[in-house]
Amino acid sequence: MERKTILILGGGIGGQAAANALALHFGGRHRVVLVDRQRKFAFAPSFLWLIVGKRNPRDIQRPLAALLRKGVELVQADILMIDPAKKEVKTSAGPMSFDYLIVSLGADLAPEKVPGFEETALNLYTLEGSSRIRESLETFSGRKVAVLIVSSPFKCPAAPYEAAFLIQDFLKTRGKPAEVSVFTPEPFPMPTAGQKVGEALKGLLESKGIRFYPNHKVTRIEPDGKNLVFENGKSEACDLLIGVPAHQAPKAVRDSGLANEAGWIPVDPGTLAAKHEGIYAIGDAAAVPIAGGKALPKAGIFAHIQAEVVAANILADIEGRASGARFDGGGWCAIEMGNGAAAFGSGDFYAEGGPAMTLHKPTRSWHWGKALFEKWWLSPFGPRREALRLALNLGAKAKGVSVSLRRL
């Protein structure tokens, strides 16, 4: 059999999952090449614990090479251009040809799109920004904390709400209660999960005394006084501003000829195949349609599951057999609430008529399940990783929730 090259762009959750699943089955018969600009991988879901002192940066980082199976070739380089017709990717390490391409480059942050954001807001979505939030909370003596969502879509739709819960709990337990508010251009929290979940999450915010301001699209931030100016003519001042910046597709994706007008790559909802044969997009870089003219949310759990589907389909194609692997729209998310508890949302994003999601009430079990998932992801391959995987699946089953994690 002719030796094939599978090129994977991006070493985040989706890229790692795809590379490891392929390497497990190929056993060196075909090349699996993963390209990422970073040597270290930071587990972004844990930035939330970092901001309230539950983690240190070193706790949630690993060398990327340590998280990849034997048989994955890791190349540290920037992606400069994707040429679907020539089946070639130009990188800072030179051109790379492929037989199959998996684009898992995620979303770039664009804080510069809102005047004043970079000067005033602390960026919740970077390791450096989360560390600065932690430092600011330790010395905070003000009255108002604002969590600002600049625009949609943004990755991990629950994160800003988790930040609000955790920050409020952090300040309260230290005897420094403050008014915590969330400002968003969206009509209710996490609208891509459906109005039922959104209203439930809104109720949880209100039950904790967190103010929620929907339909507030920021136009600029005035650094003097940290004043937020909104499109609806209103303005709000705060003492500490936590920001979720605008997101955009990476330039190489936008210029690839694969992307739509918004810059994301449209894919088949089941196979994640792009319009060029042998090319797939997963995770945040993909535009996956769901009912109601909306798109699947950008979240790591989807990148993880989609990666396994794409790996199975590439393997089947190379072996000349049909594959029944399809992404079914299922997903889940643990939502940190503070005080050692988490809520849990799960369901079907491909349901006819729109997402059919359930938000399970907060418990300590969901919090510990999220902590166990972090340990599983950051563990090297071996018996310990397999034991953590089994514990996660059994714990979810005991709660009556389907959360199957395969052996990557």
Separation between Cα atoms, residue 213 and residue 148, nearest integer Å: 10
Beta bridge pairs of residue 211: 181
Identify whether residues 68 and 151 lie together within a single domain: no
Are 204 and 279 in the same domain?
Answer: no
- Asked if residue 405 and residue 276 are part of one domain, the reply reads no
Contact predicate 125/244, CB 8 Å: yes
Count of the separate structural domains present in the chain: 3
Place of tokens 């970092």: 50
Which tokens in the block code for residue 33?
Answer: 């090449």
- pLDDT tens-place values along the chain, 408 residues long: 689 999 999 999 999 999 999 999 998 899 999 999 999 999 999 999 999 999 999 999 999 999 999 999 999 999 999 999 999 999 999 999 999 999 999 999 999 999 999 999 999 999 999 999 999 999 999 999 999 999 999 999 999 999 999 999 999 999 998 999 999 999 999 998 888 999 999 999 999 999 999 999 999 999 887 899 999 999 999 999 999 999 999 999 999 999 999 999 999 999 999 999 999 999 999 999 998 888 999 999 999 999 999 999 999 999 999 988 999 999 888 999 999 999 999 999 999 988 999 999 999 999 998 999 899 889 877 555 566 566 655 555 555 555 555 545
* DSSP single-letter state for residue 64: G
Residue 182 CA neighbour count, 13 Å, CB half: 31
Tell which of 214, 247, 280 closes a domain: 247
* CA 393/CA 153 separation, integer angstroms: 30
Residues 238, 125 share a domain:
yes
Asked if residue 159 and residue 85 are part of one domain, the reply reads: no
151 and 221 assigned to the same domain: yes
Distance CA 366, CA 334 (A): 6
Q: Which domain holds residue 237?
A: 109-247
Q: How many angstroms separate the CA atoms of 54 and 371, rounded?
A: 11
State the pTM of this model: 0.93
Final residue belonging to a domain, choices 310, 326, 342: 326
Please state, in angstroms and rounded to a whole number, the distance separating the CA atoms of residues 320 and 324: 13
Is there a single domain that holds both residue 113 and residue 241?
A: yes
Mark whether 378 and 260 lie in a shared domain: no
